[in-house]
Structure 1
Amino acid sequence: MTSRLTLFLFFLAFQLAAQPVSLKNATLLVSPSIPSPMRTTAPQMLVEEIAKRTTSTLKQSKTWPGGTTPTIVLALASDREVAGKPVPARTGMGLPEQKPEGFRVVTTGTTLWIIGADARGILFGSGWLLRNVKMDAKRLELAGPVEFASAPAYPIRGHQLGYRNTANSYDAWTVAQFDQYYRELAIFGTNAVEGIPFHEEGKGSPHFPIPAAQMRVRMSELCQKYDMDYWVWTPAEFELTDETKRKAELENHEAFYKSCPRLDHIFVPGGDPGDNHPREVMAFLKDLHGRLVQYHPKAKIWISLQGFNTEQIDYFYKYLEQHKPTWLQGVVSGPSSPPMSETRFRLPKTYQHREYPDITHNVRCEFPVERWDQAYTLTLGREAINPRPFFFADIHGKYAPFTDGFVSYSDGCHDDINKVVWSQRGWDPTKDVNEILNDYSRFFFGWPLTNDAADGIAALEANWKGPLAQNGGVEATFSFWKNLETAHPELKTNWRWQMLVLRATYDAYTRRRLLYEQGLEKTANALLTQATETSIEKTLALALATEEKADKEPVSVELRKKIETLCADLYASIGLQTSVPKYKAKNYERGCLLDFVDYPLNNRWWLADEFKKIRAMKTPKEQLERMHVIGNWETPGVGSYYDDVSSGGNIPRVKTISEDATDIAWWDNGSSRARLSTQTFQNEPALDYDNLDPGARYIIRVTGSGDALLRVDGQRLKPLIYNKATETFKEWIVPLSLTQDGRISVTFDGPEESHLNWRQHSKISDVWLLKQ
């Protein structure tokens, strides 16, 4: 009996201890020692964000309420008391609430304390509360009791928000929208924002609510409001030896510095854009610093080594060794920079090292989607809505240890989830990605959707893995989001919700189109292979008509209409520009998925052009030969093999991965009529073949453009046919001695093309091994 009573009492005590902490209609006390403007900013943030999600209103007071009224208190770790009551204190060294930006959240009775090491600690502690509290019309509560403390692992955690025409949404934002976004980034641990004050100066944007010169000052004011570091990215896009332009640039900078109430860091990329030797760059930066400290005495200068060659990089480090510039804060590593590990190793410890990760692009970028299916690259493009939480958590973990933090490259709100993942991993590199997505979903969509929306976001990332035609999860993801959308109509105007529903819908529509249009192509190809001299014209007409059913009898019309509607909703809610003609995006690369939603996913455009060439041929024999080549392009026959070397599909023979295989697709503003396989490539692919017939003769055929220096089992072969133009053939006979063991390895040497722009380098798109 006694043991049962003891067990009951233990269980009762546990239940009482685990009771949620209700904060409904709480009184909010703020320590007067919290510096301004955070003394106003943090309570305002708490009051407003809670009011949006509940029927509860926090009442600010300077005195403690009576009775059992719940109380939220904001205090500094250095405070002994607030309004006469002692601040809960802990003893010990290295406590999170004693470290820069650190905080502690603790409950004592009906009081919840947010104790910050400094002003930012107050901000981030308040953000923790908003991310974790359960809010709706009936409740405002935390799982209790609460005892949590944390401090950031990395001191720099920021994102670039460029108010310029290049952005696909920021240029449409009002000051109020930027204010809200700053706040939301801060809630998830961001402590810096980077502006772009001079790039594209004078070009303007049709979406600007106020001129760029005014907005960049307002962005500085917002950084001051939220105690965020204000960075600016300011490339030197002229010859620094031009004294007239140099003087004008310095004066332009000084006028900007003078206008900003807060300015902390000036980042000047060495290249991308820009093409100056570091001897000119460093002298220019030193002069910039002299102007800068007149108005912002603690502000510092940063440089990236982007685009520098070996001699220029060595010059930079010798400069640091000889001059030891105290005006330089550190080095930024971005795309085309030296390896981050090397930079940290060579950079003296007195200088900081910041990463500049591209979290906004999907192709032609620093971190492209690996083996991204071509159907996506052709239709979603470079700046699509791109939640990649697990991928970017891994990227952060790989490079962050060599840095003091990051300020990401972002050209729009489409990468919002990636920003949150970077900010949260910058705070705590061990934080589970699922937990981050739960926090995101709870705060932005409401606590009932904490797990479901998080799972839906993860499913969207999985939509981009592997061959799209084989990814049945895309339909499951669409059904999942469709059900969520039906169950939560209250989120219809939430722009983050709109983006996720659009992606789920677009992915499903694209997959359905792919299966349908590829099926039409198989039928058309079969017709071409069966053509005879007496049926050439009839076959050409019927094959093209078969392919063009995709236009005349489209699939999933209802999804196509929904995509149109969601794009309109996003333009209205957040200024997302998904089309050049309709929403005035700067160009077709800037997230214009609406302009590519119907781009052919079979070769009907290419076939229409090829059929014109066939009709112009002199003899029926030539016509038939070409028709048979086209019809058998991907099905060369028993014992033969075909590979579209970078399609992202099931290509087990291809051993190499081109990180950015779809760059060639960007012809004619993304509307190329070239064969689809021609629009993917590798420069030097490697392929392995086995189960070959030792007694058979094989020919290797290649198409692409430029050179293809082929080796089989390490032996360079001389070609029989060697055409360099796009979509023409090169052919080699494989010596019988190399196929006697039933296997061969095919590789390609890289031709010397250092004098060419990378877009003009030789490309290999299709490889055949043809059994004779």
Structure 2
Amino acid sequence: MPCLAAALLSALGAAAAAPLSLNNAVLVSRPGELPAAEESAAVVLVEEVAKRTGVTLERRSTWPDDRPVIALTSEARVEGWSHDIPAGVPDKTDAFGLFTDTTASGMPVVWVVGADPRGVLYGAGALLRKLEWGSGRLGLAGPLTFTTSPVSPIRGHQLGYRAAANSWDAWDAAQFDQYIRELAFFGANAIENIPFQDDRRAPLMKMDRRDMNIAMSKICARYGLEYWVWTPATFDLNDTEKRDELLKRHEDLYRDCPELTGIFFPGGDPGDNPPELVLPFLEDLSKLLLKAHPKAKIWLSLQGFTEAQTDYVLDFLNANRLPWLGGLCEGPSSPPIALLRNRLPKHYGLRMYPDITHNKLCQYPVPWWDQAYALTLGREAINPRPAQYAYIHNWFQPYCDGFISYSDGVHDDVNKTVWSALAWDPATPLRDILMDYTRVFFGPGVTYMAADGISALENNWRGSLADNGAVMGTLRLWRELESLAPELAGNWRWQMCLVRAYYDALVRARLLNETALESEANAALLRADTLGAGPAMEEALAILGRADTEPPLESLRERVIELYNDLFHSIGLQSSVEKYGASGAERGASLDFIDIPLNNRWWLEDEFKKVAEMAVEADKVARLREIALWEHPGPGSFYDDIGNTAKSPRIQRSEVFFSNPAEEARPEPLFWWWDDGKSRQRLSWQLTMDWPEAAVYEGLDPDAAYRVRTCGYGQEILSADGVRLRPEIDGRGLGEIKEYAVPAELLKDRKLTVTWDHPEDEKETPWRQRSRVAEVWLIRR
């Protein structure tokens, strides 16, 4: 299938000199009652053009003689139309073509021709993405002639109306309608709701959940889209009372919904039932489902299943053909997608359930994210990551029949667009997707700069923040865009880009300042032998306190607060628990962490209290010296904060995503979430790995003696140049030290490679209790 963007480029090749004016155009649709999706296509064009231009297209079913025309049809022949309808649209579901022509009087005609009614809707969305528009004007840059059809049959997003979401719970039905419509602009054909899970009544909810379940089904029916639901069982399925209650809730839902396409039952995350209980439950569910929706299917994920449980399901499906089962879903903590596709019978589908909403502690973390961002912006921050998610989509797309993403808010809107567009055509250039996004949502005047600005926001998150001076360039770009397009101040997508640009720059300014303050405080601690321990600690605390009394770039902080307030009122984005009703500190509450220390200030305060309680002054001075030199072991020695992209130069890693992006493919840093994100532990202990690929040391002195020192939690199986070393000191608590002597013969080549093996006895250990390593030193004696 030819790439949509390539076809458009070809079609527009000679267009620069021949723009098409559609001012005063008439929208012509087929006479009579139209299928829902085709009728919605006409409504969408009229309404969306009016929003952008202030001009309301006249709609009729007959052709004018002397005005431009936008004609929509899913039929090759229309009674009463004297104009030939362009041919060549593929006879495939959702296919469409866009063509330009002229009337007998020389007026331009734009054809939106669908292979089916929903194809017309997607054609209308594609036209909106390509229109040149402004106040009182509408047109195209040049003629169009192309046809296209989607590669993936399932292209959807989860919009779960529940308390845990960071924005949906504040919406009414009209906002869902608008957002679902806009997702369809880029080819989305499925919406997945969460009708039951998380029974909390969110204070921001404007509608009862049951009413919203029905409303979302009706919206999908109106646009001709698929309506799915995500329905875990969060209790033991042996509990017959709760089992029957859940079946009844499903039965009521099926009866309520005019449109229902798929039931997604996650095997885990949440839920902890073995397949021996899950499969019979799903069969009982299918009997209720098929009564109300005979074409609907049930889909199962194996999230959290053990290897034996995975084998049980796959063996069962190979031995039994289940007519009610649509297939399997691959999501976070699922078996690898290649394994599922290879072992799953071909008559079952395989759908991805990708996490495009989280930045850490997730399926696809930001590669080697700077800890300063992880501490402030957090797991569910506004996160345009177009390049990474384009790569992930196209890596896995050949294995599956499409996707419905895991999303918990609007903060990942760019990522949704990228996945939708690439599921339609994986060959679409990423920049073309971003330009379509910025053109349709921000306007032709800022299309190119805003597309670059979105890419720049992703690049802000690459590598060491302290070393990434481009962050300030990104802010400068978005400030220039602010001045160029003041009319976009109330646009929530625009606000999200702006707040990220300002927040990123603020975090960098704070990081540089507070890193310097900690270095200055450490220098004061090293003078404890002359100042005395007490005065040295007082001086260090005063230095650290300047982060509050002399903060950098306070105007950036004020602008961030202002923009988050705008976002709450424009789209319901909840950036704070206390201020805006976010469901939890980890649920997008970035504003609540805007002032969290980006150095070890809190840990130092607590350590100073311990030091003050020591009885002997010499011991106090010695401990303060140890603290001050923690990351600076001296000439010929080396220190690495293992998961910290800025402080781990000797840790072997893949810091970009151009390799297998599967979560099981390579080690990644793990940002621990303690004390609701406001832990006072040393920052290096809050960022660990289990385990890094290797630590590599070059240029060592073959005549010197070295020791490996590590700090982390639990047990450790450490080798140097393949030789297993035994710890002489074996601290296993958080922050305790392990030490190993390095055999002299390993140093003859002036190089040492330290590696770690996974403890065999921890395979079934819950991940939060597994051993891990946070820091490593190579100490020259």
> What's the TM-score, normalizing by structure 1?
0.95
Secondary structure in 1 matching 2:382:
coil
Alignment of structure 1 residues 439-458 onto 2, 5 Å: 439-458=436-455
State how many pairs are aligned.
Answer: 751
**Cα distance between partner residues in 1 of 2:426 and 2:764:** 42
8 A contact 1:701–1:729 mirrored in 2: yes
Deviation at 1:618, TM superposition (A): 2.1
Alignment of structure 1 residues 391-406 onto 2, 5 Å: 391-406=388-403
Secondary structure in 1 matching 2:312:
helix
Deviation at 1:654, TM superposition (A): 0.6
| Match in the other structure for 1:667 | 674
Secondary structure in 1 matching 2:528:
coil
**Cα distance between partner residues in 2 of 1:114 and 1:613:** 74
1:571-596 CA-to-partner distances (Å, cap 9, x unmatched) read 11111110111111111001111111
> Are 1:748 and 2:756 counterparts?
yes
> Are 1:677 and 2:684 counterparts?
yes
Deviation at 1:33, TM superposition (A): 7.2
Alignment of structure 1 residues 254-403 onto 2, 5 Å: 254-403=251-400
| Match in the other structure for 1:765 | 774
Deviation at 1:759, TM superposition (A): 0.8
Residue 638 and residue 227 in structure 1: after superposition, are their counterparts in 2 closer, same or farther (change >3 A)?
A: same
> Are 1:73 and 2:66 counterparts?
no
Residue 98 and residue 636 in structure 1: after superposition, are their counterparts in 2 closer, same or farther (change >3 A)?
A: same
Letter of the aligned partner of 1:672 in structure 2? S
Letter of the aligned partner of 2:394 in structure 1? G
**Cα distance between partner residues in 1 of 2:720 and 2:16:** 72
Alignment of structure 1 residues 344-743 onto 2, 5 Å: 344-532=341-529, 535-656=532-653, 659-664=667-672, 666-685=673-692, 686-743=694-751
8 A contact 2:641–2:647 mirrored in 1: no
| Match in the other structure for 2:52 | 53
Between stretches 333-342 and 727-736, larger displacement belongs to 727-736
8 A contact 1:533–1:621 mirrored in 2: no
Secondary structure in 1 matching 2:292:
coil
Deviation at 1:138, TM superposition (A): 4.2
Secondary structure in 2 matching 1:98:
coil
| Match in the other structure for 1:6 | none
Letter of the aligned partner of 1:724 in structure 2? R
Deviation at 1:17, TM superposition (A): 9.4
| Match in the other structure for 2:144 | 146
| Match in the other structure for 2:174 | 176
Letter of the aligned partner of 2:215 in structure 1? R
Deviation at 1:18, TM superposition (A): 4.7
1:331-378 CA-to-partner distances (Å, cap 9, x unmatched) read 111011111111111111111110000000000000000110000000
Letter of the aligned partner of 1:625 in structure 2? A
| Match in the other structure for 2:231 | 234
1:530-573 CA-to-partner distances (Å, cap 9, x unmatched) read 32065211111101111111012111111111111111110111
Deviation at 1:748, TM superposition (A): 2.1
Residue 178 and residue 717 in structure 1: after superposition, are their counterparts in 2 closer, same or farther (change >3 A)?
A: same
**Cα distance between partner residues in 2 of 1:651 and 1:310:** 34
**Cα distance between partner residues in 1 of 2:14 and 2:121:** 32
8 A contact 2:89–2:114 mirrored in 1: no
8 A contact 1:127–1:187 mirrored in 2: yes
Secondary structure in 2 matching 1:468:
coil
1:208-251 CA-to-partner distances (Å, cap 9, x unmatched) read 01111110110000000111100000011122222222222111
Secondary structure in 2 matching 1:301:
strand
1:236-271 CA-to-partner distances (Å, cap 9, x unmatched) read 112222222222211110111000011111111111
1:431-462 CA-to-partner distances (Å, cap 9, x unmatched) read 00000000000000010111010000000000
> Are 1:199 and 2:197 counterparts?
yes
8 A contact 1:97–1:115 mirrored in 2: no
1:47-76 CA-to-partner distances (Å, cap 9, x unmatched) read 010001113221011221122x00111112
Letter of the aligned partner of 2:385 in structure 1? R
**Cα distance between partner residues in 1 of 2:478 and 2:293:** 49
Secondary structure in 1 matching 2:298:
strand
8 A contact 1:517–1:550 mirrored in 2: yes
Deviation at 1:660, TM superposition (A): 4.4
Residue 36 and residue 15 in structure 1: after superposition, are their counterparts in 2 closer, same or farther (change >3 A)?
A: closer
Residue 210 and residue 470 in structure 1: after superposition, are their counterparts in 2 closer, same or farther (change >3 A)?
A: same
**Cα distance between partner residues in 1 of 2:134 and 2:667:** 45
**Cα distance between partner residues in 1 of 2:329 and 2:606:** 48
Secondary structure in 2 matching 1:470:
coil
8 A contact 1:640–1:771 mirrored in 2: yes
> What's the TM-score, normalizing by structure 2?
0.94
Detail structure 1 runs of 4+ shifted over 6 Å in the superposition: 14-17
**Which residue of the other structure, out of 113, 116, 119, is the alignment partner of 2:117?**
119
1:663-695 CA-to-partner distances (Å, cap 9, x unmatched) read 32x110000001111111112232111111111
Deviation at 1:143, TM superposition (A): 2.3
8 A contact 1:33–1:79 mirrored in 2: no
**Cα distance between partner residues in 2 of 1:403 and 1:87:** 39
| Match in the other structure for 1:40 | 39
Residue 755 and residue 280 in structure 1: after superposition, are their counterparts in 2 closer, same or farther (change >3 A)?
A: closer
Residue 649 and residue 82 in structure 1: after superposition, are their counterparts in 2 closer, same or farther (change >3 A)?
A: farther
Deviation at 1:34, TM superposition (A): 7.4
8 A contact 2:710–2:737 mirrored in 1: yes
8 A contact 2:23–2:68 mirrored in 1: yes
| Match in the other structure for 1:5 | none
Deviation at 1:411, TM superposition (A): 0.3
Secondary structure in 2 matching 1:193:
strand
Between stretches 619-628 and 432-441, larger displacement belongs to 619-628
Between stretches 533-542 and 297-306, larger displacement belongs to 533-542
Residue 17 and residue 732 in structure 1: after superposition, are their counterparts in 2 closer, same or farther (change >3 A)?
A: closer
Deviation at 1:84, TM superposition (A): 2.5
| Match in the other structure for 2:29 | 30
Secondary structure in 2 matching 1:293:
helix
Secondary structure in 2 matching 1:123:
helix
8 A contact 1:169–1:574 mirrored in 2: yes
**Cα distance between partner residues in 1 of 2:15 and 2:225:** 40
Deviation at 1:296, TM superposition (A): 1.1
**Cα distance between partner residues in 1 of 2:615 and 2:707:** 28
**Cα distance between partner residues in 1 of 2:339 and 2:32:** 44
Secondary structure in 2 matching 1:294:
helix
8 A contact 1:34–1:119 mirrored in 2: no
8 A contact 1:334–1:355 mirrored in 2: yes
8 A contact 2:86–2:99 mirrored in 1: no
Structure 2 residue ranges without an equivalent (≥5): 1-12, 103-107, 655-665
**Cα distance between partner residues in 1 of 2:149 and 2:718:** 56
| Match in the other structure for 1:105 | 98
Letter of the aligned partner of 1:107 in structure 2? T
Between stretches 762-771 and 569-578, larger displacement belongs to 762-771
Deviation at 1:744, TM superposition (A): 1.1
